[in-house]
């Protein structure tokens, strides 16, 4: 079954509104989660690192005021796309690292398809 | 984080073995090599991870030469459902979590 759950799987919103996407680790605690954006036929682009109890770390070129990240608990990180515009339409994916025996494996959510109209 | 280079796309037929090679010339001593599979409109799924030599699990094998500057994902007897994008990632794996940076990936198309 899923280890990381993302909700909603798809959302359509009007320009200027805000959309919140949730990422939950289901059977483990994640002090760190990662948010990615993926445009059609392109690879995943890391947007930010979500840190439980502290501020998120954003990658270069990602507007922190537009993509608000909150990691209020050890199992939940949220990404809020504020004042969404059509160019924000994309596939958003979260991941959380989970220790698996000797190593750590990154588990990904199922993704959220955002369409801004 | 080491940069990776993979073929953009590959074609194969059902039942064949597929080998996808990834170059990572500046891999660091602590870096692990991990391969993910992604279907359209889904999050990536872990396939296999290794550090050196050969690793095998129920779905794939990973071959890593001694210099670790490249790695080859081997998919035995592919089926149509193996059509997907395959990503090779290089990074540090530790209990503190690691930042996963994706390269362009390889689009594998399996034909009947």
Q: Angle at Cα B45 formed by Cα A36 and Cα A26, nearest 5°?
A: 75
Chain B residues touching residue A111 (CB < 8 angstroms): 41-43
Chain B residue closest in CA terms to A91? B41
What's the Cα-to-Cα distance from A116 to each of A13, A44, A67, rounded to whole Å?
5, 19, 15
Sequence-distant (≥ 6) Cβ neighbours of residue B107 within 8 angstroms: B8, B9, B10, B84, B85
Q: What's the token pair of residue A102?
A: 């000797």
Residues from A in contact with B at Cβ < 8 Å: 4, 6, 30-32, 34, 36, 43-46, 49, 91, 93, 95, 97, 99, 103-111, 113
Kindly report, residue by residue over A33-44, the tens digit of the pLDDT. Answer: 999 999 999 999
Q: Nearest CB to A99: which of B87, B95, B100? A: B95
Kindly report, residue by residue over B39-82, the tens digit of the pLDDT. Answer: 999 999 989 989 999 999 999 999 999 999 999 999 999 999 99
How many Å apart are CA B69 and CA A1, to the nearest integer? Answer: 34
Could you read off the pLDDT tens digit of each residue along chain A, which spans 117 residues? 679 999 999 999 999 999 999 999 998 999 999 999 999 999 999 999 999 988 999 999 999 999 999 998 999 999 999 999 999 999 999 999 887 766 677 889 999 999 999
How many Å apart are CA A30 and CA A20, to the nearest integer? Answer: 19
How many Å apart are CA A65 and CA A18, to the nearest integer? Answer: 12
Q: Nearest CB to B49: which of A43, A45, A103? A: A103
pLDDT for res A72: 85
Chain B residue closest in CA terms to A39? B41
Chain B residue closest in CA terms to A3? B45
């Amino acid at each position: 079954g899923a280890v990381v759950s993302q909700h909603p799987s798809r959302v359509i919103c009007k320009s200027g509104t805000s959309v919140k996407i949730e990422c939950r680790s289901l059977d483990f605690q994640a002090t760190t989660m990662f948010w990615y954006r993926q445009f059609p036929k392109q690879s995943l682009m890391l947007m930010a690192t979500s840190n439980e109890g502290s501020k998120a770390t954003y990658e270069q070129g990602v507007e922190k005021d537009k993509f608000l990240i909150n990691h209020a608990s050890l199992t939940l990180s949220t990404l809020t796309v504020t004042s969404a515009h059509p160019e924000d339409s994309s596939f958003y994916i979260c991941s959380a690292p989970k220790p698996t025996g000797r190593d750590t494996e990154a588990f990904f959510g199922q993704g959220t398809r955002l369409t801004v109209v | 984080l080491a940069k990776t280079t993979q073929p953009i796309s590959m074609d194969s037929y059902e039942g064949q073995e597929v080998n996808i090679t990834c170059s990572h010339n500046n891999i660091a001593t602590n870096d692990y090599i991990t391969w993910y599979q992604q279907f359209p409109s889904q999050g990536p799924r872990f396939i296999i991870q290794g550090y050196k030599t050969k690793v095998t699990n129920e779905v794939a094998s990973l071959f890593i030469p001694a210099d670790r500057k490249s790695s080859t994902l081997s998919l035995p007897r592919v089926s149509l459902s193996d059509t997907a994008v395959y990503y090779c990632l290089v990074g540090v794996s530790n209990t503190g979590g690691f930042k996963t940076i994706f390269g362009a990936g390889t689009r594998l198309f399996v034909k009947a």
